Amino acid sequence: MNGDVLVYVETRDGAVKPSSLELLTAARQLADGAGGMVDALVAGGPLGAVEALSGVADRVLVATHPALEQYLPEAHAALLRSVVAERNPALALFAYSAAGLDLAADVAARTDRAVIDYCVKLSATGREIETTSLIYGGKLRAVSRARSPAVAVIVPGAYPEARPDPARRTTTVEIAAPPRLDALRTAFVVETRPAEGTVDLAGAAKILCVGRGIHDKDSVEVARQVADALGAEIAGSRPVIDNGWLAKERQVGKSGCRVKPKLYLAAGVSGAPEHLEGMSGAELIIAINTDARAPIFGVAHFGATCDLFDLLPALGERLGKGRAA
C-alpha cells in the first residue's frame, strides 16, 4: 500500500469517540509502513475534537456547513465522497458503528473501491491490504485481500486508542463543503438520549445478562429472581430486548449500554461482536452456554456448557440460603 490513510472521525458532544482513536492507531501503523500521512476527517469541525487530534493525526481535515453539525448520513456521505475523490487515500477507515454501516459501503460503491468489514487486524504489503474479519457472529475469522485504494471497517476494541505524540506536528486543513449539502433529502429531527434515573447498568457492580438462549419471557423472570438474590441488575442482549422480554434500557452491547461491572454473569448469550463490545471490560465474566464454541467463551474467565434452565434454579437456591454480598 502506498499513500495516505483517511480516518472518518466520529464525535459526541464535541469529543472524539474512543472507537475513532482506535482507528487512528491502525491508520498510523499502516501509514508509517507505507510512507504516507494520517488524515483525520472531522465533519462539522467541533473545536474540542480538532484539538484532541493534535499530535495524533498528521492532518486534520475540517469541513463546516450547517448540514454537518449533527450526524446526517447523506451529508457525511457526500462529504466523504468529495474528500476521497479529491485526495485519493490508499485506505479509508471507519469504525463498526451506525455511521460506519451507513458510510463505508456507500463511499466504496460511489468511488469504485473494495470494502472489508468487521476487521480486527489489517496489514499491507505493496498495494495489497490483508485483513482478518469476524464472520458468523464471531464464530469464525475470514482473511480477505483487497488492492488499494480500499475501504475498511474496524471492530471497536481491535486496536488501542491513539495517544498524542508531542513531537508530531499536526496541521489543520479546511475542506470545502460539497455543493450537494445544499440539496439533501435527509434532515435531522431530534436526538434521544438514554433515560436517566431508571436503570444504571453502566454503574452496576453486578450484572446477570440473559441472551437468546433464555427462550421466553417466563424464563427471564427466573433469571430476574436469581439476579435479585445475587444483588445484580438483570440485563439482556439484543434479541431479548427485540422480543420485548426486557426494557430497552437493560440492553448491553453496541446499541445499548457499555458496562464494566465487577461481575458479569452471561446466561444463554452467544457473544456476538456487538455484545462483546459492550461488556468485555468486566472484571469477572462467567458464561453459561450449551454451545462450547460460542464466542462468549473467548472473553469469559469462567464458563460451563450445562443447561441454564437447570443451572439458574440451582444457583438461585444457593444464593437464597446465603445473601448477596
Partner 1 sequence: MQIGVALRLVPDASGDLDIAENGQDIDREWVDLKLNEFDDQALEEALTLKENAGATVIAFAFDGVGADRLLQSALARGADRVIKLRNPFGDGLRARAAARLLAPTIRELGLDLVLTGVLGIDEIHGQLAPFLGATLDWPHVSVVSEIRCDVGALLARQETDGGFSTTLRVRLPAVIGVQTASRPIRYASGAKLRQFIGQKIALTDSNADCGDLAAELLRLERPRSDKGAIMWEGDADQVAEALHDLLVARGLAKETMR
Q: Which residue has the cell 441454564?
A: 308
Applying CB under 8 A, the span of 60-68, 86-94, 106-114, 169-177 interacting with partner 1 comes to 106-114
Report the site for partner 1 in 189-228 (rule: CB under 8 A): 189-194, 206
The reply on whether position 183 binds partner 1 by CB under 8 A is no
Cβ burial 185-214 (10 Å sphere, 16+ → b, else e): eeeeeeeeeeeeeebebeebebbbbbbbbb
The reply on whether position 248 binds partner 1 by CB under 8 A is yes
Terminal-to-terminal C-alpha distance of the chain? 55
Report the site for partner 1 in 67-86 (rule: CB under 8 A): 70-74
Report the site for partner 1 in 268-307 (rule: CB under 8 A): 270, 284-288, 291-293, 295, 297-307
Nearest CA-CA partner of 172 in 64, 28, 82, 68: 64
The reply on whether position 118 binds partner 1 by CB under 8 A is yes
The reply on whether position 131 binds partner 1 by CB under 8 A is yes
Q: Which residue has the cell 457473544?
A: 271
Q: How far apart are CA 123 and CA 131, in angstroms?
A: 7
The reply on whether position 230 binds partner 1 by CB under 8 A is yes
Sorted by sequence, the CB contacts under 8 Å of residue 60 that are 6+ apart come out as: 39, 40, 42, 50, 53, 54, 170, 171, 172, 173
The reply on whether position 173 binds partner 1 by CB under 8 A is no
Applying CB under 8 A, the span of 32-40, 42-50, 163-171, 242-250 interacting with partner 1 comes to 242-250
Site string for partner 1, 14-43 (x = CB under 8 A): ---x--------------------------
Question: Which helix H or strand E contains 23, and what residues bound it?
Answer: helix 18-34
- Binder to partner 1 among 29, 54, 64, 243 (CB under 8 A)? 243
How many residues touch partner 1 (CB under 8 A)? 106
Q: How far apart are CA 153 and CA 110, in angstroms?
A: 16
The reply on whether position 169 binds partner 1 by CB under 8 A is no
Whichever of 174 and 242 has its CB closer to partner 1, that residue is: 242
Shortest spacing between CB 74 and partner 1, in angstroms? 5
Whichever of 37 and 93 has its CB closer to partner 1, that residue is: 93
Whichever of 169 and 321 has its CB closer to partner 1, that residue is: 321
Whether residue 91 contacts residue 76, with contact meaning beta carbons closer than 8 Å, is answered with no
Question: Which helix H or strand E contains 143, and what residues bound it?
Answer: strand 140-147
The reply on whether position 3 binds partner 1 by CB under 8 A is no
Shortest spacing between CB 14 and partner 1, in angstroms? 15
Shortest spacing between CB 155 and partner 1, in angstroms? 11
What phi, psi does 148 have (nearest 5°)? Answer: -75, 150
Q: How far apart are CA 131 and CA 77, in angstroms?
A: 24
* Grid coordinates given for 256: 445499548
- Binder to partner 1 among 121, 127, 141, 224 (CB under 8 A)? 141
The reply on whether position 314 binds partner 1 by CB under 8 A is yes
Sorted by sequence, the CB contacts under 8 Å of residue 207 that are 6+ apart come out as: 201, 232, 233, 234, 235, 252, 259, 261, 263, 264, 265, 279, 282
The reply on whether position 180 binds partner 1 by CB under 8 A is no
Shortest spacing between CB 186 and partner 1, in angstroms? 5
